[in-house]
Amino acid sequence: MKFPDSPKAHTGSPAEQALTESLKELADIKFALDQSTIVAITDQRGTITYVNDAFCRISRYAREELLGQDHRIINSGYHSKEFIREVWTTIAGGDVWRGDFRNRAKDGGIYWVDTTIVPFLDEQNKPYQYVAIRHDITQLKMAEEQIRQQADLLDKSQDAILVRDMDDRIIYWNKSAERMYGWRAGEVIGRRTTEFLFRSISPEYGQAQRMLLERGEWRGEFNQITKDGRDLIVESRWTLVRDEHGKPFQKLVVNTDVTEHNRLQGVLQRAAQLSFVGELAAGLAHEVKNPLAGIQGAVDILIRRRDPNDPEREALEGIRHEVTRIDATVRALLDRARPRKLNTIEVSITELVTKAVSVARAQAIAAAARGRRVQIMFTPPGEDIAVKADPAQIEDAILNLIINAIEAIEEEGRIVVGIRHQSSEEYGEEAIIEVADNGRGIPEENFQRIFNTFFTTTTGGTGLGLPAVRRIARAHGGRIEATSTVGEGSIFRIHLPLNNFP
Ligand code: FAD
């Protein structure tokens, strides 16, 4: 096939006339084709034998520069060898090839053409030339690229971005949504978020929907769940997307996971509250401590003056007990408010525990006055353990645990205090001070909270004791552990490191 020049008007035999007409028709077809398509013809080796104007326009080469060359002249280096090989095997085998080429024009500009290469076959069915017919699809490819880049950007966003149609079915779900919720796009497209992102649908959800339609946007917080059942708090921003006629047709949703942020906010708020309470407590404690010491002294004198059988003596003992308790609370408050600096020296743990036990025994005697019989047992270990510690603070911590144990015993019970040495791979060498009681034990729901400041189950408790014990243990580079069984009792252990103390 060869595109001839436009035929001149011809008058002759009917055969010549028919020929003239079909040549004219061919010229018209070529003209029509030239208007809309980019045409090139090559021989069987790929050497260009014909190009139309559209080819010259888009490639910015003059016809003379193209004829006799092959298409390498516009090759942009974008396509792989395999791609080119596939083109050639298809057309050399006599089949039509269709695909997109990315080419480079003479001025270096890149253009895309959708291409159909048709092989023309001789009598042996061998291609003797190829005709390439193409269309400029540069704009389309650029738009595609832009969309891909935007989609990449959406995927890089930390926020879950989703689009719902007006029937609330998901039509877009970005990579962050996959990461945040654990659901893959393929699993959720076509579904409603209310089917799988919420434990229950709150009334706010309906309000949000109404507000979105009325105002075109909505912003708020939701409790949601992930695919594996984790709870999330998300800040959600909804925007109503309208079509070119202003009719609502999609809902764009951007969700930010604020679970951790909210938790930290809570912690900060609590810390601020505590520091306020701490200041208040420190002030109050100073005001209370002096008069309390006065009352304590006066009550002691009154008790000493009473005969052991004096009925008023019991009441006075009761007052002394309460005063001691107030004093302990005030001390704990002070401890909490202004954690004392550690004054560490090398001390004998046996000595510390012995002191704490003897103070606690006085408490146990007072408890006996109120009908509780508590026995405190302590057998010092054969070999003493020395630690570097603040003796006053450790003594306070042990005393605190023993007093708690006394309180946990309802009528009659036993507290066993022990010291031992333990070495483990995780914590190295440690001294362990253990306080075990056979009191009422701590129910599971309370056990989680026993180290929370101000958490208490006893009417006279402050909820400051155990947090203070933990703080003291931690300040020494150690820790506190507890186990408890309702009806059987509790065991608290203070672990103090022997070697890795800072
Ligand atoms: P090469 O390294 O030259 O070839 C890659 C593989 O393709 C080779 O290993 C071989 O297996 C096969 N191959 C290459 N040339 C031939 C051949 N002549 N005969 C049989 N197999 C062969 N290229 C473009 O880049 N843009 C175009 O728009 C374009 N349009 C074309 C239109 C027509 C009608 C024809 C016939 C070819 C067209 N080509 C086009 C292909 C072009 O002729 C070159 O083959 C190609 O540009 C070379 O690319 P390359 O250097 O990366 O590959």
* CA separation for the pair 151, 77 (Å, rounded): 26
Ligand 1 atom 45: residue of nearest CA: 84
Task: Indicate the Cα dihedral angle 320, 323, 327, 333, nearest 10°.
Answer: 150
Ligand 1 atom 52: residue of nearest CA: 81
* CA separation for the pair 398, 461 (Å, rounded): 17
- Six-digit token string for 198: 């919420």
* DSSP letter (8 states) at residue 192: B
pLDDT at 173: 94
Flag whether pLDDT at 157 surpasses 90.
Answer: no
Atom of ligand 1 nearest to the CA of 102: 26
Ligand 1 atom 26: residue of nearest CA: 75
Residue pLDDT, tens place only, 240-284: 999 889 999 899 999 999 988 887 777 667 666 666 666 677 677
Taking a C-beta distance cutoff of 8 angstroms, is the pair 255, 180 a contact? yes
Ligand 1 atom 18: residue of nearest CA: 45
Give the residue, 111 or 332, on which the prediction is more confident: 111
Task: Indicate the Cα dihedral angle 223, 227, 228, 230, nearest 10°.
Answer: -10
- Six-digit token string for 242: 């309208």
pLDDT at 244: 86
Cite the DSSP H helix spans in 459-498.
465-475
- Tell which one of 71, 74, 101 to mutate to probe ligand 1, the residue whose CB is within 8 A of the most ligand atoms: 71
Percent of the chain with pLDDT over 90: 46
Residue pLDDT, tens place only, 46-68: 999 999 999 999 999 999 999 99
Mean pLDDT of the chain: 86
- Tell which one of 81, 84, 103, 133 to mutate to probe ligand 1, the residue whose CB is within 8 A of the most ligand atoms: 84
How many angstroms is it from 47 CA to the middle of ligand 1? Answer: 10
- Six-digit token string for 350: 């046996």
Q: State the pairing for strand pair 373-378/412-424.
A: parallel
Taking a C-beta distance cutoff of 8 angstroms, is the pair 343, 392 a contact? yes
Residue pLDDT, tens place only, 5-15: 444 444 578 88
- The CB of 97 under 6 Å from ligand 1? The reply is no
- The CB of 75 under 6 Å from ligand 1? The reply is yes
Residue pLDDT, tens place only, 440-467: 888 888 887 777 765 666 655 555 678 7
How many angstroms is it from 85 CA to the middle of ligand 1? Answer: 7
Q: How far is CA 423 from CA 429, 431, 436, 497, in A?
A: 4, 9, 21, 10
The beta strands (E) that lie in 122-264 are given as: 127-136, 160-165, 170-173, 217-225, 231-242, 248-257
- Six-digit token string for 214: 């009325």
Q: Supply the pTM of this predicted model.
A: 0.47
- The CB of 80 under 6 Å from ligand 1? The reply is no
Which band of pLDDT confidence, cut at 50, 70 and 90, is reported for residue 156?
confident
